[in-house]
Amino acid sequence: MSNVWALLLAAGIGLLIGLERGWRQRAEHSGGRIAGIRTHALLALGGALCGLLAVSVSLWFGLAGVAGMIAALVLAHRARLAEADDNVSATNVVVGILTVLLGLAATSGYAREAVVAGGLVTLILSMREKLHGWLRTLSEEDIRAVGLYGAITLVVLPLLPDRNIGPYDALNPRNLWLVVVFVTGLSFAGYWASKKVGNARGTILSAAIGATYSSTAVTAELARRLRDDAEDHATLRAGIAAATAMMPLRVTILVAVLAPSVFAPFLMAVGPAALLALLHAGFLALRSGGTEGEALPVKRNPFDIWPAIGFAVLVGAVIIASRWMIERYGGQGVTALVGITGVYDVDAAIVIASNLPRSALSPTGLAGLFALPVLVNSVWKMLLVPGLGGLRRGVPAALPLGITTLTIAAGIYFIDGFRFS
């Protein structure tokens, strides 16, 4: 990129950021606005010129220019702090400094990165009210959970070795923890959505959202409520159907991330079941009159550091056990192990299957093995609903689970090759 284009690009970034800043501060009194649209464009252009000086003349010229502009911004902000009003924010001076640095980056060989960063800065600034409103809804537990999730993602993950270790060289600590990050992140997202939407929209919607982090717990809760004569049983059945549909959809996302090479045959095995369950849930929702009803309570934050560590330890132990069973008993032993794991944790079963040696399985065989814990979990919940809700009300409510079970079983059979090669 030529120097002229880099200068124009820097000025454009400054204008973009300055447009938001100028609009945000449009009601400021005369002289109260530190930097608006013109000033941010000039800051970016000044940073760009400093970058050219640093590259073409001397690094010290560039550094001196950047330091001078930053010092001017800080002094202007300091003068603004002395004024007798409370409409003062450190954001203005921070954004000004960022604008200078983005201009500098645009002429220092990082033009693409400067454009991306400029867009992100503008987006974050434009979301001020939304972010502040969201912040007011957080509890102390929520803040602690966010901090813990940040720790396992940004602190623990980079420190883990990226190599195979342990018995059979079966464990890659970084890959294993990356799966923990993904699975707990998906559960965490479901928790947030349930907390934000579920209490306002009723049983069916909160059941669907809650099933993104525990379809078994949601199904059990709705099944228990079937025994209460005061409940709307049509709505409860629709909620069970919605939770039933979400589980294969969640697992499909997990397989797409962990084993994209077998995504197509896996989708053939579980896709029809998910589609039928969605259609059935929609039909029951319409018959029940929409999404009204008592929302499911959010009993706890699903993300905590010890469950995450326990998940990793469980998966690692069962991966080693599966390798041992392949060596001793062949495919039938590991198939039984993955199926049993699916009774209490489908995610763990999928992770275990994804860590099996690819040479031991055909692609369709691996897809069938991925689908097996979904099938086993559906059978378990199909028995759980009548057990908790009673035969008279539980059997009709378990119908979508029966449909899912039969459809997945047929899918596993027809994708061919559900066996170790």
Residue 110 has pLDDT above 70, yes or no: yes
- In this prediction, residue 333 carries a pLDDT of 63
pTM of the predicted protein model:
0.55
pLDDT at 298: 47
For residues 248-270, give the mean pLDDT.
Answer: 82
| pLDDT of 122 strictly over 70 | yes
Highest-confidence segment of 96-105, 300-309, 361-370 = 96-105
**Selection from 64-73, 126-135, 300-309 with the highest mean pLDDT:** 64-73
Cα–Cα distances (Å) from 325 to 69, 179, 273, 319, 349, in that order, read 67, 23, 30, 10, 15
Residues contacting 146, CB < 8 A, separation 6+: none
pLDDT digits (tens, 9 = 90+) for 36-83: 788 888 889 998 999 888 888 888 888 888 888 888 888 877 766 655
Is 73:35 a contact under the CB 8 Å cutoff?
yes
The pLDDT tens digits of the residues spanning 205-242 come to 777 776 766 777 788 888 888 888 877 778 788 888 88
CA 277 – CA 403 distance, rounded (Å) = 7
Whether pLDDT at 421 is above 60: no
Backbone phi, then psi, for 361, in 5-degree steps?
A: -135, 145
What percent of the chain clears pLDDT 70, i.e. is strictly above it? 72
Most confident of 9-18, 309-318, 327-336: 9-18
Name the least confident of 174-183, 220-229, 264-273, 359-368.
359-368
pLDDT at 193: 60
Taking 70 as the threshold, does the pLDDT of residue 200 lie above it?
no
Closest CA relative to residue 47, chosen from 118, 116, 143, 132: 118
